[in-house]
């Protein structure tokens, strides 16, 4: 059931940069987003309208959105936590927002200071308002293959939350292995549970590479027919709430694998590597992509 084509959602400019130790300027973030668009990415997370008190590195999201060279065929989703965030996103004329919930109560409490049920009630008016404005909504589920506080996570818990987000109006559900402990068999069991409750074609995989399992988990998910994946250029980011979760799957590594398998993504690998190398230089570190490092040393 391997797909012939996949959609890549690039999360580096938001999920990646907000979790990097070194800050970047507004102009540098704008350049990264423009470089990613030029490389062929069609979905690029541009920022978030979360309180600057909690995520200071995303405080300039409105300025970033105003400054990018927005391409007609590219979506630039932003993360919103509540109605205040939605109103800010609406003022920036975004076409897509994202909301986020956790598959475990402990992570939900420590991440967004409320229970799973409370988070869903908080997001319900946000989704309704967005849909009324013709704005698409993407849903994120955290800790689908393990929680830093509760350990193993039951696939049915992930499936239940995914179904509720889908019924609420999310057009796409991203399943996040937040601490990167998942392995292929567990990834397939989790996906199997989810696609019994929501359509397969709305499910996305978001795998962290903490234990070096991200590409293996992508392949395992593709074997179940999943054709949407999140990744982060240069492997930017991680999760500040999960000790040891120090890297998203690098977009360059994912595209290299897909190209080698003859699976289309529409992304120019050389341009993507250049974009990753440029932002890595700004951050003062080597790229988190093995492919980028290998190409640089070739």
User: What are the catalytic residues?
Assistant: 239
Q: Are 200 and 226 in contact (CB under 8 A)?
A: yes
Sign of CA dihedral 237, 206, 108, 121: positive
Rounded Cα distance, 152 and 104, in Å:
10
Measured in residues, the chain has a length of: 298
Q: Are 45 and 80 in contact (CB under 8 A)?
A: no
Burial of 174 (0-12, 13-18, 19+ CB in 10 A): buried
What angle (nearest 5°) sits at the alpha carbon of residue 220, between those of residues 294 and 164? Answer: 120
Write the Ramachandran bin of 109: left for phi over 0, alpha for psi from -120 to 50, otherwise beta: alpha
């Amino acid at each position: 059931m391997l797909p012939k084509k996949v959609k890549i959602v690039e999360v580096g400019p938001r999920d990646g940069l907000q979790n990097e130790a070194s800050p970047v300027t507004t102009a540098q973030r704008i350049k990264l987003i423009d470089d990613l668009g030029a490389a062929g990415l069609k979905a690029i997370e541009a920022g978030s309208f979360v309180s600057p008190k909690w995520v200071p590195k995303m405080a300039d999201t409105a300025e970033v959105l105003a400054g990018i060279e927005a391409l007609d065929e590219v979506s630039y989703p932003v993360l919103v936590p509540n109605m205040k965030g939605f109103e800010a996103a609406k003022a920036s004329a975004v076409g897509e927002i994202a909301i986020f919930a956790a598959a475990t109560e402990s992570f939900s409490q420590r991440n967004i200071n409320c229970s799973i049920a409370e988070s869903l009630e908080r997001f319900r008016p946000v989704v309704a308002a967005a849909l009324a404005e013709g704005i698409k909504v993407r849903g994120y589920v955290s800790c689908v293959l393990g929680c830093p506080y509760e350990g193993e996570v039951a696939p049915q818990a992930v499936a239940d939350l995914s179904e509720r987000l889908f019924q609420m109006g999310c057009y796409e559900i991203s399943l996040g292995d937040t601490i990167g402990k998942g392995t292929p068999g567990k990834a397939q069991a989790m996906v199997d549970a989810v696609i019994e409750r929501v359509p397969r074609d709305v499910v996305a995989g978001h795998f962290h590479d903490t234990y070096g399992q991200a590409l293996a988990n992508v392949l395992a998910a593709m074997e179940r027919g999943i054709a949407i994946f999140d990744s982060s250029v240069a492997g930017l980011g991680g999760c500040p709430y999960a000790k040891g979760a120090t890297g998203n799957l690098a977009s360059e590594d994912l595209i290299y694998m897909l190209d080698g398998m003859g699976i289309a993504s529409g992304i120019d690998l050389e341009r993507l590597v250049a974009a990753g190398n440029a932002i890595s230089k700004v951050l003062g570190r080597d790229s988190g992509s093995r492919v980028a490092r290998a190409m640089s040393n070739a």
